[in-house]
Amino acid sequence: MTTPSAKALVPFVSVDQMMQLIHHIGLAPMMQGICDRIEADFRRWPLFDKTPRLASHSDVGVIELMPTSDGEVYGFKYVNGHPGNTRDGLQTVTAFGLLSDVANGYPVLFSEMTILTALRTAATSALAARVLAPKGSTVMAMIGNGAQSEFQSIAMQAIVGITEVRLYDVDPAATAKCAQNLQNSGLKVVSCKTAEEAILGAQIITTCTADKQYATILTDNMVGAGVHLNAIGGDCPGKTELAPAILHRADIFVEYPEQTRVEGEIQQLDADHPVTEFWEVLSGTAQGRTDAKQITLFDSVGFAIEDFSALCYVRDAIKGTEFFTPLDMLADPDDPRDLFGMVNRAQ
Amino acid sequence: MTTPSAKALVPFVSVDQMMQLIHHIGLAPMMQGICDRIEADFRRWPLFDKTPRLASHSDVGVIELMPTSDGEVYGFKYVNGHPGNTRDGLQTVTAFGLLSDVANGYPVLFSEMTILTALRTAATSALAARVLAPKGSTVMAMIGNGAQSEFQSIAMQAIVGITEVRLYDVDPAATAKCAQNLQNSGLKVVSCKTAEEAILGAQIITTCTADKQYATILTDNMVGAGVHLNAIGGDCPGKTELAPAILHRADIFVEYPEQTRVEGEIQQLDADHPVTEFWEVLSGTAQGRTDAKQITLFDSVGFAIEDFSALCYVRDAIKGTEFFTPLDMLADPDDPRDLFGMVNRAQ
């Protein structure tokens, strides 16, 4: 066996190592750290290479590549979305990602991102809610109690300061699972039998369901004045959660309009319907919430910069720890032009 | 430490394992096997999802993602191209790739592709030369004696039947390295001091240089009738190797016109200059070489389907061998909706 040099070895964070890293840092502090990193990157949004994700659709799901670069570091995520997977005991969403050095193209981090995506999605939602939700929001309705629901709840607690979460899912077993997972979180957890019951008294309504269809998780009459809607589940063509009438009453904030108009709730609206880019609110060039009675909607589909931020956080967090493995991913001949000689000598 | 289930584990082929696999199978038989797979996939070309690669350009190089799918298997490659890397002892091109199951989005193979790309590029060149070069071609000029040159030579020997390779590089050390690596190949190896000397008597002229510029490796007066040009180095915007006059005298064959018109030699021509898609020659719907005096040009930039074919070959070749490592890449909770519970229980 040939021993690869340091240049050939890419730090790899496995699923187990990501879980150990989370326990090492703590889930809430880690989501706070990722949130800070996303906020900093959103404030320098114009610097990034941006492109809608490259999606490969099939009848049963989608596989996507989400690249971006800030000119110094390049990152991408591979992610699938297959709503039928849970029937077969598989995850709806799995993901992994990579960072590399723009100066030479060499990867510098390879990481699982099934878990990390859950953290960055919750951190992004909480960042938007901290900025857009009514001041002093304390109650969140969590509609859809699947894999993302606990992360959303903990992030909203840590970053926005909510104290109560009201759970609803079409499947009571999902609600029971979420409630049990949150029992030691410090949140007041209320399991509800209907979506109407869940939104009672909530200033923040998060929808996160997985069916690939035009669903109506919220109807117009369910949404009153002065709430913040955090719509996560409408994230690919043909998959939405909100009645169009709600969209017409809301001020809509998005990550990257070119992508959201195809994938988000606003695919139900005209292509020129006004939306605000959320990064502009953070950087002060656009207004966020201006009125306590306003309905704000964060129509979130997930954007490559959020993954980039999360990967950068992990790259820094694993330094000096044992939560990664060097992976022999890159051929590294002594003479870079002598790839053939390296292969030959390996015999 | 939590033990991941089989669903979470993706077979990973490291650089060392790829080299061992090559020695296990033999370099020439492995390139022949990849060539057969590429030919079979090119014959069913219309079935594939095709898109130009997603490139992130910087002043010093490019990082690209190259996805494709045949409806059952999805594959992509990450590859960089940084001509200045060799100055720092790094590879110009490094790559890795992945296959996944379209039905559920789960990866089924993760592999180094720096070495594998060299094999598939040479196998593709040889496939094109077998079909397009003059019958009975025995001599190849190899202009550019870098990392790809020996693989090209061995593939042309195994697949086309050449018996002599004539080497030229602006750097004599590169030629010496290539000649030494080929000394036991069975090929007659002639090291040349000029490109003109190298092409003497050659029926096949392969150009594979790495400078990112409009270079003129071959001028019009150097190329006579009845040769096959295999142009590999012109593979991104602003990077070409052939004088435009040669292109006007040649019948041009390409992989995927949408990509080649941007990246290949034909970026120097009008956007409507006639070209033939090589897969059509293989499937019998277009003509290849029709005349012994004709100049045929394979303007190769590398296409995602070739990587897909090579990865499928590796996926099959490693079955039952020790040339891979199971990698804990995918989170796999017992209940797919209970990602949070899995993380919690890992403590």
Is residue B56 scored above 80 in pLDDT? yes
A31 found inside a domain: yes
Q: What is the pLDDT of residue B1?
A: 45
CB contact under 8 A, B63 and A174: no
Distance CA B166, CA B198 (A): 5
* Rounded alpha-carbon distances, angstroms, from residue B84 to A54, B3, B92, B193, B212: 29, 43, 7, 24, 9
Looking at per-residue pLDDT, the higher value among B75 and B86 belongs to B75
* DSSP string of B196-252, one letter each residue: HHHTTT-SEEEE----SSEEEEE-GGG--SS-EEEE-S--BTTBEEE-HHHHHHEEE
Which are the contacts of B321, defined by CB distance < 8 A and separation ≥ 6? B21, B24
Interchain pair B100, A7: CB under 8 A: no
pLDDT of residue A207: 94
Q: Do B177 and A337 touch (CB under 8 A)?
A: yes
Report the residue of B82, B167, B178, B337 to disrupt the A interface, i.e. the one with the largest count of A CBs within 10 Å.
Answer: B337
In angstroms, the CA B200 to CA B219 distance is 14
Q: What is the pLDDT of residue A267?
A: 92
User: At residue A111, does pLDDT exceed 70?
Assistant: yes
A1 within a domain of the structure (yes/no): no
Shared-domain flag, residues A144 and A239: yes
Q: Tell me: the pLDDT tens digits for B88-120?
A: 888 888 999 999 999 999 999 999 999 999 999
Q: Please tell me which of the candidates B1, B105, B146 has its beta carbon nearest to residue A94.
A: B105
What integer pLDDT is reported at residue A4 of this predicted model?
62
Task: Let me know whether B109 and B183 are in one domain.
Answer: no
Whether residue B294 is found in the same domain as residue B314:
no
How sure is the predictor about A114, in pLDDT bands with cuts at 50, 70 and 90? Answer: very high
The answer to whether residue B163 scores a pLDDT higher than 60 is yes
pLDDT band of A86, cuts 50, 70, 90: confident
**For position B336, what pLDDT does the model report?**
80
Structure tokens at B198: 């190298």
Does the distance separating the beta carbons of A54 and B65 come in below 8 Å? yes
Q: How far is A15 from chain B (nearest CA, A)?
A: 6
**Is A12's CB within 8 Å of B327's CB?**
yes
Domain residues for A253?
A: 128-303
**Interchain proximity A20–B346, CB inside 8 Å:** yes
User: Does B342 sit within 8 Å of A94, measured CB to CB?
Assistant: no
pLDDT (tens digit, 9 = 90+) per residue, B288-300?
999 999 999 999 9
Cβ within 8 Å, pair A88-B106: no
State whether B16 and A49 contact (CB < 8 Å).
Answer: no
**pLDDT tens for each residue of B166-176:** 999 999 999 99
d(CA B48, CA B110): 20
Which of A51, A90, A178 shows the shortest C-beta gap to B7?
A90
Residue of B2, B114, B328 lying closest to A330 (CB–CB): B114
Least CB–CB distance from A16: residue in B51, B114, B346? B346
Q: Which of B41, B70, B235, B307 is catalytic?
A: B235
- Mutant choice from B12, B78, B165 vs A, greatest count of A C-beta within 10 A: B78
Q: DSSP strand E in chain A: where?
A: 9-13, 54-57, 62-69, 73-81, 95-101, 107-112, 139-143, 164-168, 188-191, 204-207, 214-218, 228-231, 240-242, 251-254, 276-277, 296-299, 325-328
Residue B1 lies in a domain: no
* Residue B237: C-alpha distances to residues A190, B255, B264, B268 (Å): 58, 16, 8, 10
ipTM associated with this complex: 0.89
Do A172 and A287 have their domain in common?
yes
Q: Are residues A136 and A183 in the same domain?
A: yes
pLDDT in tens, B20-47: 999 999 999 999 999 999 999 999 999 9
Question: Does A123 reside within a domain?
Answer: no
- How far the first Cα of chain A sits from its last, in Å, is 9
Mean pLDDT across chain B, nearest whole number?
Answer: 93
DSSP class of residue A239?
B
Q: Which residue has the higher pLDDT, B289 or B238?
A: B289
Q: Which residues of A touch B8 (CB under 8 A)?
A: 15
Distance CA B175, CA B163 (A): 18
Under the banding of pLDDT at 50, 70 and 90, the label for residue A3 is low
Nearest to A114 by CA among B107, B339, B327, B7: B339
Question: Residue B226 — very low, low, confident or very high, per pLDDT cuts 50/70/90?
Answer: very high
Question: Do A145 and A86 fall within a single domain?
Answer: no
Provide, as residue numbers in chain A, all residues whose Cβ is less than 8 Å from the Cβ of B73: none
* Chain A residues with beta carbon closer than 8 angstroms to that of B62: 105
Residue A55 phi, psi (nearest 5): -105, 140
B226: left (phi over 0), alpha (psi -120 to 50) or beta: left
Closest to A340 (Cβ–Cβ): which among B86, B151, B343?
B151
Q: How many CA atoms, within 13 angstroms, populate the side-chain half-sphere of residue A190?
A: 18
Tens digits of residue pLDDT in B40-50: 999 999 999 98
| Same domain? B131 vs B99 | no
Q: If you average pLDDT over residues B56-73, what whole number do you get? A: 94
B18: confidence class by pLDDT, cuts 50, 70, 90: very high
In a domain, A122, yes or no: no
Which amino acid is located at B53 in the chain?
A: R
Nearest beta carbon to residue B15 from set A62, A149, A331: A331
Task: Determine the residue of chain A that is closest to B144 in CA distance.
Answer: A337
Q: Are residues A143 and A282 in the same domain?
A: yes
pLDDT of residue B168: 97
CB pairs under 8 A between A and B: 251
**Residue B215 above 80 pLDDT?**
no
Q: How confident is the model at residue A1 (pLDDT cuts 50, 70, 90)?
A: very low
What is the pLDDT at residue B5? Answer: 67
Q: Which residue of B has its CA nearest to A86?
A: B336
Average of per-residue pLDDT values in chain A: 93
Nearest to A347 among B15, B23, B118 (CB): B23
Beta-carbon separation of A27 and B91 below 8 A: no
Q: Are residues A95 and A148 in the same domain?
A: no
Mutate one of B91, B184, B212 to test the A interface: name it (highest A CB count within 10 A).
B91
Chain B partners of A337 at a C-beta cutoff of 8 Å? 86, 145-147, 174, 177
Domain for residue A204, yes or no? Answer: yes
Looking at residues B321-342, what average pLDDT do you find? 90
Residue B53, domain member (yes or no): yes
pLDDT at A265 over 60: yes
| pLDDT beyond 80 at A327 | yes
pLDDT digits over A6-46, tens only? 777 999 999 999 999 999 999 999 999 999 999 999 999 99
Looking at the predicted structure, is the pLDDT value of residue A210 above 80? no
What are the CA-CA distances from residue B131 to residues A158, A311, B114, B253 (Å)? 64, 46, 26, 11
Q: Is the predicted pLDDT of residue B238 greater than 90, yes or no? A: no
d(CA A261, CA A269): 8
**What ranges in A156-208 are assigned the alpha helix state H?**
172-181, 195-198
Query: What is residue B195's predicted lDDT score, i.e. its pLDDT?
Result: 94
The answer to whether the beta carbons of residues B40 and B310 sit under 8 Å apart is no
Token pair in block for residue B153: 């030579």
A14 contact residues in B (CB cutoff 8 A): 327-329
In a domain, A32, yes or no: yes
Contact A15 B333 (CB under 8 A): no
Name beta bridge partners: A242.
Answer: A218
Residue A191 sits in a domain whose CATH number is 3.40.50.720
Chain B residues with beta carbon closer than 8 angstroms to that of A27: 343
CB A23 within 8 A of CB B346: yes
Q: Looking at the predicted structure, is the pLDDT value of residue A82 above 70?
A: yes
- List, by residue number, the catalytic residues of A: 235
Query: Shortest Cα distance from A89 to chain B (angstroms)?
Result: 6
- Average pLDDT in the A124-133 region? 98
pLDDT of amino acid A212? 61
In chain A, the percentage of residues whose pLDDT exceeds 70 is 97
Res B109: pLDDT: 98
Q: Nearest-CA neighbor of B313 among B27, B36, B104?
A: B36
pLDDT at B130 over 70: yes
- Mean pLDDT calculated for residue range B330-346: 87
B177 to A343: CB separation less than 8 angstroms, yes or no: no
At position B339, the amino acid (one-letter code) is: L
d(CA A63, CA B98): 12
B240-242 and B188-191 strand pairing:
unpaired
Whole-number pLDDT of residue B185: 96
Residue A208 has pLDDT above 70, yes or no: yes
Q: Cβ B331–A7 below 8 Å, yes or no?
A: no
Confidence of residue B4 (pLDDT cuts 50, 70, 90): low
pLDDT digits (tens, 9 = 90+) for A275-284: 999 999 999 9
HSE of B141, CA atoms in CB hemisphere, 13 A: 27
Chain B CB contacts of A330 below 8 Å: 15, 91, 94, 96, 112, 114
Residue A316 pLDDT > 80, yes or no? yes
> Best residue in A22, A31, A56, A74 to probe B by mutation, most B CBs within 10 Å?
A56
- What average pLDDT does this structure show over B238-253? 91
Are both A87 and A137 inside the same structural domain?
Answer: no
Among A94, A121, A142, A236, the strongest candidate for a mutation testing the B interface, having the largest count of B CBs within 10 A, is A94
Residue pair B321/B24 in contact (Cβ under 8 Å)? The answer is yes
Out of A98, A333, A336, closest to residue B78 by CB:
A98
The confidence score (pLDDT) of residue A288 equals: 97
| Same domain flag for A299 and A327 | no
Are A240 and A260 in the same domain?
yes
The answer, yes or no, to whether residue B144 has pLDDT greater than 80, is: yes
Residue A295: pLDDT over 70: yes
Tell me the C-alpha distance between A221 and A14, whole Å: 45
> Are A306 and A300 contacting, i.e. CB atoms less than 8 angstroms apart?
no
Structurally, chain B folds into a number of domains equal to 2
Do residue B329 and residue A96 have CB atoms under 8 angstroms apart? yes
Three-state secondary-structure class, residue A185 = coil
Q: Which long-range contacts (CB under 8 A, 24 or more apart) does A281-285 make?
A: A281/A131, A281/A132, A281/A253, A282/A39, A282/A42, A282/A43, A282/A131, A283/A42, A283/A43, A283/A45
Q: Report helix angle B114-132 to B304-317, nearest 10.
A: 110
Q: Residue A10's domain is classified under what CATH number?
A: 3.30.1780.10
